């Protein structure tokens, strides 16, 4: 369980074939002495398991399913990665409840300056659009964001200068792809009201 508050901006050091489909080695400022083997770390919103670690790096494997549902299959050495360690009981919940289970990939349709911040227009997959609500929450590349507005095919989020600086949002452009996790409350409400056969 995560909160969508990024605590480190790591760097992809190496992508190789692992026991699963791909293995990623990511450098980080985290104290890896406090990270257990088998621990979870959200990487651009995708919950991955630490399978190796060194003084300033850890490795994680991604399965074929993960590569198909996320942007991880496009990762290359040098890419920046939003990192978050899991929530502990008693920690401050600064964002919203994030599972680290990416639903699909969304696309940046437009970016415009807005009084020092940047307004991003995001195109989600059509089947996920119904789960996005104005003033609700969405997780994009691991970042918990408030939805500003919604229309039939897109939604908007505002990225303040601090978030641009400490996450990968500062390097995004039109056409960039983002890992999207819908709000888990929306997911369960939709399941409850779905007709049963």
Report the chain's mean pLDDT, rounded to a whole number.
91
Per-residue pLDDT band for 66 (boundaries 50, 70, 90) equals very high
Q: Does pTM surpass 0.85?
A: yes
Indicate if the pLDDT at residue 13 is higher than 70. Answer: yes
- CA-wise closest residue to 142 among 17, 45, 9, 35: 45
Indicate if the pLDDT at residue 192 is higher than 70. Answer: no
Sequence-distant (6+) residues with CB within 8 A of 188 are none
Using alpha carbons, list the distances in angstroms from residue 99 to 16, 41, 151, 180, 195: 26, 11, 26, 11, 25
Q: Do 99 and 44 touch, CB atoms closer than 8 A?
A: no
Return the bridge partners of 41, or none: 48
pLDDT, position 76: 95
Indicate if the pLDDT at residue 152 is higher than 80. Answer: yes
Indicate if the pLDDT at residue 194 is higher than 80. Answer: no
- CA-wise closest residue to 123 among 138, 135, 113, 136: 138
Give the strand pairing for 104-114 and 80-84.
unpaired
Q: Do 71 and 179 touch, CB atoms closer than 8 A?
A: yes
Indicate if the pLDDT at residue 136 is higher than 70. Answer: yes
Using alpha carbons, list the distances in angstroms from residue 14 to 26, 80, 157, 180: 7, 12, 31, 24
Among 24-33, 38-47, 85-94, 146-155, which is the least confidently predicted range? 85-94
- Determine the Cα–Cα distance for residues 98 and 4; give it in Å rounded to an integer: 6
pLDDT, position 69: 92
Query: May I ask the CATH architecture of the domain 8-84?
Result: Beta Barrel (2.40)
Q: Which fold has domain 104-193?
A: Elongation Factor Tu (Ef-tu); domain 3 (2.40.30)
Q: List, by residue range, all CATH 2.40.30.20 domains of the chain.
A: 8-84, 104-193
**End-to-end CA, the chain:** 32
pLDDT, position 33: 94
């Amino acid at each position: 369980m995560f909160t969508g508050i990024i605590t480190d901006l790591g760097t992809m050091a190496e992508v190789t074939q692992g026991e699963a489909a791909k293995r990623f080695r990511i450098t980080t400022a985290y104290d890896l002495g406090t990270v257990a083997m088998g621990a979870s770390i959200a990487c651009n919103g995708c919950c991955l398991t630490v399978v190796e670690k060194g003084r300033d790096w850890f490795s994680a494997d991604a399965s074929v399913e993960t590569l198909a549902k996320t942007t991880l299959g496009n990762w290359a050495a040098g890419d920046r990665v939003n990192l978050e360690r899991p929530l502990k009981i008693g920690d401050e919940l600064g964002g919203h409840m994030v599972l680290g289970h990416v639903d699909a990939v969304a696309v940046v349709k437009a970016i415009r300056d807005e009084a020092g911040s940047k307004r991003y227009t995001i195109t989600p997959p059509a089947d996920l659009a119904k789960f996005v609500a104005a003033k609700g929450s969405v997780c994009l590349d691991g970042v918990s964001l408030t939805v500003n507005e919604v229309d039939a095919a897109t939604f908007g989020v505002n990225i303040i200068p601090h978030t641009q600086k400490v996450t990968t949002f500062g390097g995004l452009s039109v056409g960039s792809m983002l890992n999207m996790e819908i709000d888990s409350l929306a997911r369960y409400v939709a399941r409850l009201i779905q007709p049963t056969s």
